Amino acid sequence: MTTIIPLTQRVAWQALEAHYRKVHELHLRQLFADDPTRGERMTTEAIGIYFDYSKHRITDETLTLLLQLVAESGLRSRIDAMFRGDKINVTEKRAVLHVALRTPKGQAIIVDGEDVVPGVHAVLDKMADCSTQVRSGEWKGYTGKRIRNIVNIGIGGSDLGPVMAYEALRHYSQRNLTFRFISNIDGTDFIEATRDLDAEETLFIIASKTFTTLETMTNAHTARDWLLKTLKHPDAVARHFVAVSTNVEEVAKFGIDTANMFEFWDWVGGRYSMDSAIGLSTMIAIGSEAFRAMLDGFHQMDEHFRTAPFDRNLPVLMGLLVLWYNNFFDVQTMAVLPYEHYLKRFSAYLQQLTMESNGKHVTQDGTEVVYQTGPIYWGEPGTNGQHSFYQLIHQGTKLIPCDFIGFTQPLNPLGHHHDLLLANMFAQAEALAFGKTPQEVQAESIPAWLVPHQTFEGNRPSSTILLERLTPAALGKLVALYEHSVFTQGAIWDIDSFDQWGVELGKALAARIIPELETEDKNRLKHDSSTNTLIRHYVKARFQCH
């Protein structure tokens, strides 16, 4: 293994520190004035995605130094290692092979001496059979009625991916089927999701790799009780539940026919699993052909990331821009702003993908980092966000780089709505970059006292990502674009982007607290004084109500 020099000791990093001091006050107005071709030159286009990064606070030298940092960080060898199936998730000693989920038949990826691609396609074929049966009405419930309601029960990647994909691809969904998603252990989530459903027409998908996840299995058992309250006989469970899991014993014990268990593997992280069997609800919604088109979109981006020169590599360029602001401008957050209402859950999905992956404080060998790692991701669709938080992005004291995502063709043409939508997107990027000077405000005969309030500093950076239309393939490309951008960042920061130990401590403490909420014995509490007091207050209130 090639030894990588610690990040802050790399030649390119130190050159970037010096370069930042030289260019950080440059204004985008000046950069565009000095280079009239900047808006055409600082773009790249690949696999149907047009990426404009000209409105970033960078120069050609910035890009050269960032690409030098990529070379010094061993990104190429890291990419090759992932696609080879090497165990690059070092803390869990696992391969990282979400790319295998969309690898075409006939190609091979070897993990522990076994080609995993045939197994992937066997599961896809099994999913397609299930999907076809449900969509056609062939799958009948226990009383002989066709299934009309599909409820996915999962949490984390087993929920965020399916919810986002369903909303994103609703245009392609079979509209005589109803889809609901339950994730929260808060009982309200289950009650509201099932309130108007007929148990005889409802199929539950229980998505839990181990079939032991607290939230998922609590909701799964509640779903079984809900079903049996109407259908009475335990045999009904097998006609109304399927599982996405690897735990055959627990699935069978629950009452699910193991022939209706859909497998996935330990080399698929939850936040990278929407195109695995976790996507069963997506396939039922849009059909197997559209699902495979989505996989093809993923694969196109995988191949672009694997083979394209880094100076024209979309995920690499995106990842480097995040690093530039995160590590040199001390930016804390990144906004993702899709101008497509179907992508209303996309930013929420990216929150897990980005922050669970790169929210790390040590390098792969356990050394405490001395630089910032993953930023906070957030966002909402345009134009709604313009009437909410854009004020802060334009005139606040925080620097927030933005990703604008738009499509040239609408899925639902309606008058000139789409032109208005895209006009707003282009205008916001322009306003953020160039602002409005005091002189420009004064020229509008604005009273002097009001001029500072109507001045826009500008110099707020953004990328614009354009595709033709939101198809299943386009969604696959977009998700993989962000997946590989996250990979690029993590490789340079030398962190493990594929574990998530940060979620474990809270789980362990919750398991300890659960029995303490079911008794009034105050002497059992061994927490800090704040937690002890909160538990006592809660228990007292609960028992008083009972």
Catalytic center residues: 356, 387, 507
Nearest residue to 276 (alpha-carbon basis) of 289, 259, 297, 262: 262
In contact, 203 and 147? CB cutoff 8 Å: yes
- Please state, as a whole number, how many other Cβ atoms lie within 10 Å of the Cβ of residue 261: 20
Nearest-angstrom CA–CA distance, 70 and 83? 18
Pairing of strands 110-111, 114-115: antiparallel
> What per-residue string of b and e applies to 9-45 under the rule 16 or more CB within 10 Å gives b?
ebebbeebeebbeeeeeeebeebbeeeeebeeebeee
Question: Three-state DSSP class for 114?
Answer: strand
Structure tokens at 373: 């790692």
Nearest-angstrom CA–CA distance, 289 and 283? 8
Compute CA distances 476 → 123, 296, 315, 488, 543, whole Å: 19, 7, 14, 18, 50
Contacts of 507 (CB under 8 A, 6+ apart): 214
Q: How many residues does the chain have?
A: 546
State in Å, rounded, how far the first CA of the chain is from the last one. Answer: 63
Q: How many CA atoms lie within 13 A of 521 on its CB side?
A: 9
Nearest residue to 269 (alpha-carbon basis) of 99, 454, 493: 99
In contact, 167 and 342? CB cutoff 8 Å: yes
Pairing of strands 333-338, 376-378: parallel
Question: Which helix (H) or strand (E) is 110 found in, with range?
Answer: strand 110-111
Only one residue has tokens 């022939």, namely 259
Q: CA-based Rg of the chain, rounded to a whole angstrom?
A: 25
Q: Which amino acid is at 466?
A: L
Contacts of 94 (CB under 8 A, 6+ apart): 87, 266, 267, 498
